[in-house]
Structure 1
Amino acid sequence: MMTNEELERKGCTPIEDLIAEDFGEVGTPERDEFERGCEAFIIGERLKAERLKAGMTQEQLAAKIGTKKSYISRIENGHADIQLSTLFKIFQGLGRKISFTIM
């Protein structure tokens, strides 16, 4: 991975600078909202990958855990505020376990 100095020498703007320009500095409300959206996107993408690996459709997964296909779709697209208990239930339905790291 290139350092910020190497990027600047090549005429590139570091990604952190671009994010700060569009969403504010770390710790601002706008940046916090952006970062939450990123986390939701990452969780959704991971769910989709695990669901596909399990060979299940959104409808099959929803039926298995007692929810609606539209809810699975919203999670996979990063548009749902999901409770931890539901997240554990979804991945359990896929035969997977999840864990979190607090940083």
Structure 2
Amino acid sequence: MATKEMRRTTLSEMKDRYIGQVGTPDRDSYEYELKMEVLGKMIKSARKERNMTQEQLGKLIGVQKSQISKLESSANSATIDTIMKVFKALKADINFHVKLEDDFVKLA
């Protein structure tokens, strides 16, 4: 009895096949959405570590509880200014890395 060897596929290969190659609009959109979801989860985690409610965090930065909830589920609609205010209120550091062609610019 001959056995077939299973071919393993990496996550990158799966994304290339089903979402699109890196640099295509569909793949860029997917990667952006994923990053915004992760950012939202980081905000929620930091808020909970500080034993803070969404309402308390909202009051600290001047927004409604519903905006904090929306931000935690996905940071898509948030401005950089709002994200910076949230992390400052949470006493958490945030760093941005911006790549301009072959050069990196770091914002802390």
Question: Under a length normalisation based on structure 2, what TM-score does the superposition of the two structures give?
Answer: 0.79
Cα distance in 1, alignment partners of residues 92 and 11 from structure 2: 33
Cα distance in 1, alignment partners of residues 6 and 87 from structure 2: 43
Match of 1:70 among 61, 66, 73: 66
Tell me if 1:102 matches 2:98. Answer: yes
Equivalenced residues, count: 95
Mark the runs of 5 or more structure 2 residues left unpaired by the alignment. Answer: 100-108
Displacement after TM superposition at 1:11 (Å):
3.5
> What do you get for the CA RMSD once the two structures are aligned?
1.6
Greater helix percent: which structure? Answer: 1
Greater strand percent: which structure? Answer: 2
Larger Rg: 2
Residues 44 and 29 of structure 1, relative CA distance in 2, 3 Å threshold: same
Matches within 5 A, 1:1-103: 11-78=7-74, 80-103=76-99
Question: Under a length normalisation based on structure 1, what TM-score does the superposition of the two structures give?
Answer: 0.82
